[in-house]
């Protein structure tokens, strides 16, 4: 309450209301070592109700995380502090994931609990055996993603996941009864969870509930009846305490009621020492764990450390080179979703940390490799997750898997449903998590499912997201190159937009360079000085090649640039970009909206693509219907000459 007051902004209510629960959890149960914040076998603690960030910062400070100084608490919400408005992964050790958008932390925690089980199945309980604890609020439980996440957790029987629900019956608008009449206990039991309600201010009851949850064969929801802003004389129990400083009088009254005589930011030495001891409690367990890791067979130990260090196996690049060679030799017409499936068949053999999945579109997304077994309740030896029709839950869980460490999650759906996953994709980009999205059916080319399923604005919307790499490969070789780039990028998410329809192989040359690595490149140079330059991505690159041929017959010299990844091209050296783009007039072709293309087109450019939504018809009928053909592209070029 003092830090919020000093910042003149923030949320005092939740930290005060949940202080008892957090105290019992941290002092008696949570397995962590504040001096080794990234100990891989620590329990994970997720503050899903991220607006209560000061609760987490206070706990990190009290338990002795070196970077969470008292000055950081005094600089709450100020520029450059570690104590951002909502907890941000990477700002301070001990912050496992970025939270604030309600529901996301809960979704992440399901991924963390999955990752723990997968790694335990692989490396054994001696090395991987920890729990995931979450504090979630009414808002977390109201959000749709919480339904998807909790349903998935119940299905998989993630019994080491324990969620404290801050059941304070207050949100921003007032009492939750204004908008919320669910029975969360019944709801979670329906998902296959254990659920109970306790008095969230009764330390013995909290500890007993945690003990029961630890023994449960299913995930646990502990609804903690609390009073928001516990101790505040007039604002406790009211929405007024949710998101604004309490004010001097209220704070003085709370000090009196709680029997706290110290001035702001002063922690008496004996109390500090007790909390520091809590922070050091796990040191011994951590050292025992390190000894167990040392005594593992050398190969297993090396593999564990490789994973932990985010290093990819050296055989990855050999596998990619072989795939490219095989694609060239076969010279088959393949949809890029098919090539991607073939690539996965080979990569999952050499990159064992890959954990695949799809939101119930496995046969369409081609995300399941031949040797991948399903992950099932009670058997976590598989590496393929049936996420069900839960795109948002899948994306939130993948963030948790990536944040946990030791595994690389990828998951599929149709590109048009990236919207359903977008809030979590944004957080992956924001946190710099190396999640990979396999988004197939990437244009009107998908055909008969019609305009509800045909993305048109999605590429533009995804490219607008800072920190996300959007790939749209043009053929099988580019698909392999883009997969390699996505895998090597361990500090940002990547999205592969792949076709349903078959495409010819365009990359016939045998050079081993990954040409997609610079984001765009000259696929087919003009025969002589360029008169026009075509820019295209994915399935439209072969259309641009057709236009180049048509112009050639008329003696017009055109080059085709394939642009599989704008973000990489943007970061390429200017000389390279200038060389690729050239000075001739440009025509861009992409079966999507124009938004964003003008930056590449220059003042004299033309665009061939979509102006609105698609239509229900076979894909081959739609390209001519919407004027996305070699003839139309050639015509646009002629008009610029
Ligand atoms: C997705 C999302 N929508 C809206 C908000 C804004 N917001 C922050 S807290 C909150 C609800 C507060 O109620 P509750 O979750 O019960 O927290 P408490 O008041 O108990 O602290 C809302 C709507 C948000 N952070 N995330």
Q: Is the pLDDT of residue 595 over 90?
A: yes
- For 620, the token pair is 């081959």
Q: Is the pLDDT of residue 192 over 90?
A: yes
The DSSP annotation for 210-274 comes to: HHHHHH-SS-EEEEEE--TTTT-TTTTTSGGGTSS---HHHHHHHHHHHT--SPTT---HHHHHH
Distance between CA atoms of residues 354 and 409, nearest Å: 6
Distance between CA atoms of residues 335 and 561, nearest Å: 20
* Nearest residue by C-alpha to atom 18 in ligand 1: 171
Distances (CA, A) of 502 to 289, 336, 548, 577, 620: 51, 7, 20, 30, 11
509 neighbors 550 (Cβ within 8 angstroms): no
Reported confidence tier of residue 511, pLDDT bands at 50, 70, 90: confident
Q: Is the pLDDT of residue 60 over 90?
A: yes
Q: How many CB atoms lie within 10 A of CB 402?
A: 27
607 neighbors 460 (Cβ within 8 angstroms): no
The residues lining ligand 1, judged by C-beta closer than 6 Å to any ligand atom, are: 13-14, 49, 51, 100-102, 137-139, 143, 166, 168, 170-172, 228, 242
Residue 448 catalytic? no
Mean pLDDT, the chain, whole residue set:
98
Reported confidence tier of residue 587, pLDDT bands at 50, 70, 90: very high
User: If you measure from the C-alpha of residue 172 to the centroid of ligand 1, how many angstroms do you get, rounded to a whole number?
Assistant: 7
Distance between CA atoms of residues 543 and 631, nearest Å: 9
Reported confidence tier of residue 603, pLDDT bands at 50, 70, 90: confident
Phi, psi of 270 (to 5 degrees): -70, -40
User: If you measure from the C-alpha of residue 635 to the centroid of ligand 1, how many angstroms do you get, rounded to a whole number?
Assistant: 54
User: If you measure from the C-alpha of residue 243 to the centroid of ligand 1, how many angstroms do you get, rounded to a whole number?
Assistant: 9
> β-pairing, 161-167 with 586-589?
unpaired
625 neighbors 615 (Cβ within 8 angstroms): yes
User: If you measure from the C-alpha of residue 491 to the centroid of ligand 1, how many angstroms do you get, rounded to a whole number?
Assistant: 29
Direct distance between the N- and C-terminal alpha carbons of the chain, in angstroms, rounded to an integer: 68
Distance between CA atoms of residues 264 and 6, nearest Å: 9
Ligand 1 atom closest to the Cα of residue 171 is 13
Reported confidence tier of residue 544, pLDDT bands at 50, 70, 90: very high
pTM for this predicted structure = 0.98
158 neighbors 376 (Cβ within 8 angstroms): no
Reported confidence tier of residue 335, pLDDT bands at 50, 70, 90: very high
Distance between CA atoms of residues 139 and 106, nearest Å: 11
* Nearest residue by C-alpha to atom 19 in ligand 1: 171
Catalytic one of 72, 116, 391, 481: 391
> β-pairing, 161-167 with 132-137?
parallel
């Amino acid at each position: 309450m003092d830090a919020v007051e000093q910042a003149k902004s923030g949320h005092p209510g939740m930290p005060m209301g949940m202080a008892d629960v957090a105290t019992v959890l941290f002092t008696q149960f949570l397995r962590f070592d504040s001096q080794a914040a990234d100990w891989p076998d620590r329990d994970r603690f997720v503050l899903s109700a991220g607006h209560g960030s000061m609760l987490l910062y206070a706990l990190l400070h009290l338990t002795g995380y070196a970077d969470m100084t008292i000055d950081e608490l005094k600089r709450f919400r100020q520029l450059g502090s570690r104590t951002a408005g909502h907890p941000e992964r990477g700002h301070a050790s001990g912050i496992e994931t970025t939270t604030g958008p309600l529901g996301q932390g809960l979704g992440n925690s399901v991924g963390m609990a999955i990752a723990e089980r997968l790694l335990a199945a692989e490396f054994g309980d001696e090395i991987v055996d920890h729990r995931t604890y979450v504090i979630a609020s009414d808002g977390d439980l109201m959000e749709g993603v919480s339904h998807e996440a909790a349903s998935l957790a119940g299905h998989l029987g993630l019994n080491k996941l324990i969620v404290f629900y801050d059941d304070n019956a207050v949100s921003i608008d007032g009492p939750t009864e204004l908008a919320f009449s669910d029975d969360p206990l019944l709801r979670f039991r329906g998902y296959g969870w254990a659920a109970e309600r306790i008095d969230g201010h009764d330390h013995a009851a909290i500890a007993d509930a945690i003990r029961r949850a630890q023994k449960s064969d299913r995930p646990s929801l502990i609804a903690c009846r609390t009073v928001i802003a516990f101790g505040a004389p007039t604002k406790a129990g009211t929405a007024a305490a949710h998101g604004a400083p309490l004010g001097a009088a209220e704070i003085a009254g709370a000090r009196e009621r709680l029997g706290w005589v110290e001035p702001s930011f002063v922690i008496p030495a004996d109390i500090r020492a007790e909390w520091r001891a809590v922070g050091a409690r796990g040191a011994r367990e951590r050292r025992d764990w390190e000894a167990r890791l040392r005594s593992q067979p050398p190969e297993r130990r090396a593999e564990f450390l490789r994973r932990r260090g985010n290093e990819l196996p050296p055989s990855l690049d050999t596998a990619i080179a072989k795939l490219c060679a095989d694609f060239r030799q076969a010279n088959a017409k393949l949809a890029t979703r098919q090539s991607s499936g073939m690539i996965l068949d080979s990569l999952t053999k050499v990159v064992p940390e890959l954990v695949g999945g799809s939101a119930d579109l496995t046969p369409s997304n081609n995300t399941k490799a031949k040797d991948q077994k399903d992950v099932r309740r009670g058997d976590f030896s598989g590496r393929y997750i049936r996420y069900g029709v839960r795109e948002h839950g899948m994306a939130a869980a993948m963030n948790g898997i990536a944040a946990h460490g030791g595994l690389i999650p990828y998951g599929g759906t149709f590109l048009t449903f990236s919207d359903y996953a977008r809030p979590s994709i944004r957080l992956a980009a924001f946190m710099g998590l190396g999640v990979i999205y396999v988004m197939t059916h990437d244009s009107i080319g998908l055909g008969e499912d019609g305009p509800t399923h045909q993305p048109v604005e999605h590429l533009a919307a995804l490219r607008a997201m800072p920190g996300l790499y959007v790939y749209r490969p043009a053929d099988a070789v580019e698909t392999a190159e883009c997969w390699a780039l996505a895998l090597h990028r361990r500090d940002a998410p990547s999205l592969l937009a792949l076709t349903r329809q078959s495409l010819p192989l365009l990359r016939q040359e045998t050079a081993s360079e990954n040409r997609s690595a610079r984001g765009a490149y000259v696929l087919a140079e003009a025969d002589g000085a360029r008169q026009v330059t075509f820019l295209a991505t994915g399935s439209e690159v072969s259309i641009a090649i057709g236009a180049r041929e048509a112009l050639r017959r008329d003696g017009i010299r055109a080059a085709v640039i394939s642009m599989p990844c704008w973000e990489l091209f943007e970061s390429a050296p200017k000389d390279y970009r200038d060389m690729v783009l050239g000075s001739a007039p440009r025509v861009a072709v992409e079966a999507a909206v124009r938004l964003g293309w003008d930056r590449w087109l220059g003042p004299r450019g033309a665009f061939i693509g979509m102006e609105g939504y698609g239509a229900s018809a076979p894909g081959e009928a739609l390209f001519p219907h919407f004027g996305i053909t070699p003839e139309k592209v050639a015509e646009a070029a002629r008009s610029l000459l």
